[in-house]
Structure 1
């Protein structure tokens, strides 16, 4: 069965293309991130989720974005190092990207089309989260202020094969 999510790709901070098809069969949490935001401490919670559930099939994908208050001014390499050193981030990070406007990364263009926000599909701030099931279907969008631990129950249900009621 074809799935649009798996047709997409994004570049690592080093510029290597990664196909979303590499995550086929996994529950995926896509997040637009920033290292100098009031919500930046969420990196620790995202990493905790990743460590707790990666062996059961969860992957967290971080997409740094500088479109909100210039809160991701670092180069790709410095951003990656900052995330590792300050928050212990080991989940996959991608190169700085745009999540709104004409330069929107195709991953976010697709996710916004499938899961519009409360006030339209536009992403309002850093740490907006999109949860995608193991079949590549976008399931739920979370606001920037939703802490990673608040999503844990839903992730557990998805990994355990239970139906998620939204």
Structure 2
């Protein structure tokens, strides 16, 4: 969907996975999701990956949690790698959640899904994404219901997530 303002939920969008395959976000219907921008060379990568893996392991089967990771190189060039390099980094960190093609989350080339997320859950100082590891919680109906900045630890999202399971 190119006109993000007309979207009713994330289910109105399709994205490319890390291998370039088109994925309708409809596949996440009925799941609580965390959608975030990731960067393997960011100083926040180690702690975020570790805690996201823990969240996924704890709640993917029991509660249906899905994590959608979008590599982004817009912040200090912290995600310069290819899709294969990003996958290798994720594998080393035992990340089994879903990875998508590298995208832009700000500027003229912002991916339409991210325009929608920012439109629905604006930031404190503006709708733009300020850094890597900005996290959006999406409820089972596909609606973005919360936005958390890079400084919020994934493990601290559990209380928020519980409201939507």
Task: Give the structure-1-normalised TM-score.
Answer: 0.92
Q: 2:82 aligns with which of 58, 75, 84?
A: 75
Structure 2 equivalent of residue 133 of structure 1 = 139
Structure 1 equivalent of residue 29 of structure 2 = 24
Q: What stretches of structure 1 move > 6 A for 4+ residues in a row?
A: none
Deviations for 1:4-61, whole angstroms, at most 9, x for unmatched residues?
3101011111100111110000001001000000100101101111111111111000
Task: Give the structure-2-normalised TM-score.
Answer: 0.92
Structure 2 equivalent of residue 66 of structure 1 = 73
SS at match of 1:50: helix
Once residues 104 and 28 of structure 1 are traced to their aligned partners in structure 2, the CA distance between those partners, rounded to angstroms, is 20
Once residues 65 and 152 of structure 2 are traced to their aligned partners in structure 1, the CA distance between those partners, rounded to angstroms, is 18
SS at match of 1:127: coil
Once residues 12 and 45 of structure 2 are traced to their aligned partners in structure 1, the CA distance between those partners, rounded to angstroms, is 30
Once residues 109 and 9 of structure 2 are traced to their aligned partners in structure 1, the CA distance between those partners, rounded to angstroms, is 19
CA RMSD of aligned residues (A): 1.1
Instruction: Structure 2: state its 5+ residue gaps.
Output: 1-6
Q: How many residues align?
A: 157
